[in-house]
Structure 1
């Protein structure tokens, strides 16, 4: 009889071990899924910050008002910003990977002046082709 109790105890321990292993495997799968989500979110935030930095850098540049479209490359960063002039208005375009940001401005006699609240994360023009960097 004592021998039967030992077998039932061993079976209970093995059952607990199997259940624990299944729970750990499930938790590991959840952790992997959440890690992928966090990684994608981190990358999106990084691209957003890069595009905002490029937009601010482009805002500080002296742009020529004689050409309808011009781009400038940052000397130290992989940033490229473009300015499109259409009918007295200016549109500054900056992008990083899949994120593109825009800033509206006005063309005046002394150059381009960007509006204080003119930035946008969607194309502010009716014609989307004009909002794409070339």
Structure 2
């Protein structure tokens, strides 16, 4: 009779260990999934910050007023200024696959970018004009 009580205690301990290890495995899978989400979010934020920096760098460049478009590069950044009709301009900043646009106009022979900020979608109907050269 004592032997049976010992086996049931051992079975209970083994069952608790099995349940604990299953719970730990599930928590580990959850942690891995959250870790992947955080890594993707981190990479997205870095990429967005990089293209924002490219746009700000492009805003500070001394652009000449001429027809067509002009481009400048710095490392992975590429910034182009495209002159459109009616003295409107479009500043196109790219870093990797991400692109931001900022509109503006030519005032008194100088580039004046819009104070309303940038756009993360092409603000023109003709999407070919929104591509950096």
Report the TM range for the smaller structure's normalisation.
over 0.9
The answer to whether the aligner puts 1:32 opposite 2:32 as a matched pair is: yes
Which residue of 1 is the match for residue 97 of structure 2?
98
Question: Quick check: 110-119 or 52-61, which moved more?
Answer: 110-119
TM-score if structure 1 supplies the norm length?
Answer: 0.92
Give the 4+ runs in structure 1 shifted more than 3 A: none
**SS class of match (1:48):** helix
The offset of 1:3, in angstroms, is: 1.2
Ranges in structure 1 where 5+ consecutive residues have no aligned partner: none
C-alpha RMSD over aligned residues: 1.3
CA contact (8 A) 1:51 1:101 kept: yes
Count of residue pairs the alignment pairs up: 132
Question: In the aligned structure 1, how far is the partner of 2:109 from the partner of 2:31?
Answer: 56
Counterpart in 2 of 1:17?
17
Whole-Å separation in 2 of the counterparts to 1:20 and 1:97: 46
Partner Cα separation in structure 2 for residue 98 and residue 33 of structure 1: 25
Q: Which residue of 2 aligns with 1:50?
A: 50
Match of 1:120 in 2: 119
Query: What is the CA–CA distance in structure 1 between the aligned matches of 2:99 and 2:42, rounded to whole Å?
Result: 17
CA contact (8 A) 2:48 2:98 kept: yes
SS at match of 2:46: helix
How many Å apart are 1:124 and its aligned residue? 0.6
Normalised TM-score (structure 2): 0.92
Q: Is the 8 A contact 1:105 1:118 kept in 2?
A: no
Query: Offset at 1:34?
Result: 1.0
